[in-house]
Amino acid sequence: MSEPIDPPALRSLLDDADFVDVQSVEGEVTLREFVAHSIGWEPGWLRALYLARRVFARLLRLAHRDVVPGSNLAPAEIPFTPGRKIGFFTVVEGVEDRYLLLEATDSHLAAYLAILVETAGPGRRRFRMVTVVKHLHWTGPLYFAVIRPFHYMVVRGMGRAGAWRPGRETPAPDSGRPAAAGRPSPAARVLSAAVLPVAPLYGAALAYRLFHPPRRRHHRRPQDFGLAATVLAIPLGGGGRLHAWLCPGAPDRVVVLGHGIGLSKSASLAHAKFLHDAGFTVCLFDHRNHGASGHDRARMRLGERFTDDITATVTHLRRAEGYGSARFAVYGFSFSTFPSLYSLVREGFGVDAVVCDSGPGADLPQLFGTFLEAGGLPLPSPLRGPRPRAAVAGTLGSLATAMLGASWPPPADGPLAHVPLLFMSGGRDRILPASSVQALAGRYPRAETHVLPDADHLTGLKTDPGVYTTTVLDFLERALR
C-alpha cells in the first residue's frame, strides 16, 4: 500500500471550502486512463441533466450557461500542464501517475476535482475523487443546493466509468444488465429517465412553495369555540403586518400560538380553547405568507423571518396591549416549533416557556424528505419513480434548508439552558417521529418530553385529549407561576 497523496494545492483549497466530498473506487487502469474514461463519460441522462442545468443557469444569469459534459481526449492526450483543458475543466496542477487537480469556475462558484491515485494491491490502484466547492456569489449556495443531490450520482458514475477496462467480464457503466425480478417495466424506466432532468427543478419549486404556500381561508373562527377575540394587526420591522386574534384571560399569563406549515391560526383554535378555559390569555397569529398575514416573497434567510413573526407578536403584546409584566409561553406546531425554539437565541428577546407539538427534529433535510413522502407536498405520478423521487426529495431537502439559512439545532446554552421546554410527540408520526424529537430535546437540560402512542402528526389533542391537555396545563402551571 502506498502513502496517501496530499497535494499542497488541494490542502490549501480545503481550508475555506463550503463543500467537500470524497469518493473512492479501485481498478486496474492508469491515472491517464481513469481521467480519460471518467471525464469522457456522458450517458444520455447526464446530457439531459446538463440541458436542465442550462435552463437553471440562465435563470440565475450565470456566466457559463452552456457547459456540456464529456471529453474526447484519449488517455495519451490527457495533459498535466497547468492551464490546459480537459472537457470543461482546467488543469491546476498534476503529477504523472500520482494526482491531477482540475478546476471549473463560474460567476457563482468555483468547483475543484482532485483525482489521487494510490497502490491498492498487485496490479490494482485506488482512485480518490475529491470534490471541493467554494461559493463566490449569493447564487452559489442556491445553485449548489439544487444540483447537490445529483453530484453524488454523477461522481459515482464517473468513478465506475474511470475504473472500467474494456474486455472485462463485468459490463461497462450504464451498458445495461438483464432485468431482475421485481424491477420496473421498460416503459416505466424510460418514463423515469425522461423526467429525471425535470426532477431537481420541481424540487426547487416545491421548496419555494413550502414557505410560500397557497392561502387557506380561516375555516373556523374564535366565536365557533365560544371565545371572545379582538383582531390585531401586528407590524413587522421590515414592513408588512401579521393578523392575530387576542382572547383575553388572566393578565399575568399569556400563551402565543402558531400553526403548521400551509395552515393558519384556525388550526390552533381547539388548543386556544382549553388554554383559555384554564385562565390563560391566548393570542393566535398567522405567520407571514399564511392565513390573513402579509406576503413576503423573500427566498433566503427565512428562518430569521419566521422567527421575527414570533418576536414581533410577543413584543407587540408587551408594549401595545398591556401585557408588559406578564409571563409568556410560545406554543408551536410542526413547522412553527422550529422558530418557536429558535426565538430563544434571539438577542434581547425572551419568554418563560416553550411548548412544541409535533416537532422540531434535529435533521432539517430529512424532515423535508419525510414531509414529501407523507404526502405533505404534491408529487406528480411521473416523478414517483425511485430516481426522480430521490432527486426531488434531495433537492427539496437541500434547497429548503439553504432557504431557511439557520444554524440548526440551536446551541444548548444561554436561555436554552434554563427556559422550560415541553415537547409533545405522536407515536405514529411519520413526518417528525418521536425519536427525532426526543433526540433534539435531549440537548437541553430543562426539556420535558411526552409521547402519545396512538397520535399521528398534529393529532395529539384529538387522539388523546385528556392526557394531552393535562400534560400541557401541568407544564404551563409550573413554568408560568
Residue pLDDT, tens place only, 327-379: 999 999 999 999 999 999 999 999 999 999 999 998 888 889 899 988 888 88
CATH, residue 73: 3.30.530
Does 122 lie in the same domain as 41? yes
Does 222 lie in the same domain as 107? no
Q: Does 150 fall in a domain? A: yes
pLDDT tens-digit map of 384-414:
888 888 889 988 988 899 999 888 999 999 9
Classify residue 479 by its DSSP letter. Answer: H
Does 428 lie in the same domain as 315? yes
Range(s) of the domain holding residue 241:
216-362+404-479
- Predicted pLDDT of residue 174: 43
- Predicted pLDDT of residue 151: 83
Where does a domain end: 134, 166, 198? 166
Classify residue 352 by its DSSP letter. Answer: S
CA distances from 60 to 64, 137, 177, 200 (A): 11, 11, 39, 15
Does 298 lie in the same domain as 437? yes
Where does a domain end: 148, 166, 184? 166
Does 291 lie in the same domain as 160? no
Q: Does 206 fall in a domain? A: no
Does 273 lie in the same domain as 147? no
Where does a domain end: 124, 141, 166? 166
Residue for grid cell 409571563: 327
Tell me what the pLDDT averaged over the chain comes to: 87
Q: Does 306 fall in a domain? A: yes
Does 233 lie in the same domain as 85? no
Q: Does 372 fall in a domain? A: no
Does 454 lie in the same domain as 346? yes
Does 95 lie in the same domain as 223? no
Element housing 260 (H / E): none
Q: Does 209 fall in a domain? A: no
pLDDT higher than 80, residue 311: yes
**pLDDT: is 4 or 470 the higher one?**
470
**pLDDT: is 395 or 147 the higher one?**
395
> 439 φ, ψ to 5°?
-65, -40
pLDDT tens-digit map of 80-106:
999 999 988 999 999 998 999 999 988
Q: Sheet of 280-285: strands edge to edge?
A: 230-235, 241-247, 280-285, 250-257, 327-333, 353-357, 421-426, 447-452
CB 335 within 8 A of CB 382: no
- Predicted pLDDT of residue 165: 67
pTM of the model: 0.66
pLDDT higher than 50, residue 463: yes
Residue for grid cell 380561516: 218
- Predicted pLDDT of residue 330: 98
- Predicted pLDDT of residue 137: 85
Name the grid cell of 266. Answer: 384556525
Classify residue 393 by its DSSP letter. Answer: H
CATH, residue 447: 3.40.50.1820
Q: Does 305 fall in a domain? A: yes
Does 231 lie in the same domain as 131? no
Q: Any bridge partners for residue 425, and if so which?
A: 451
CB 117 within 8 A of CB 97: yes
Spell out the residues 6+ positions from residue 318 whose beta carbon is closer than 8 angstroms to its own: 324, 326, 328
Q: Does 181 fall in a domain? A: no
CB 103 within 8 A of CB 79: no
Does 226 lie in the same domain as 142? no
Spell out the residues 6+ positions from residue 257 whose beta carbon is closer than 8 angstroms to its own: 265, 268, 271, 272, 275, 282, 283, 284, 285, 331, 333
Number of domains present in the structure of the chain: 2
Q: Does 126 fall in a domain? A: yes
Query: d(Cα 466, Cα 454) in Å, to the nearest integer?
Result: 13
Classify residue 105 by its DSSP letter. Answer: E
CB 229 within 8 A of CB 247: yes
Q: Any bridge partners for residue 354, and if so which?
A: 330, 421
Query: d(Cα 67, Cα 45) in Å, to the nearest integer?
Result: 15
- Predicted pLDDT of residue 123: 83
Mean pLDDT of 260-276: 96
Does 435 lie in the same domain as 304? yes
Residue for grid cell 482512485: 127
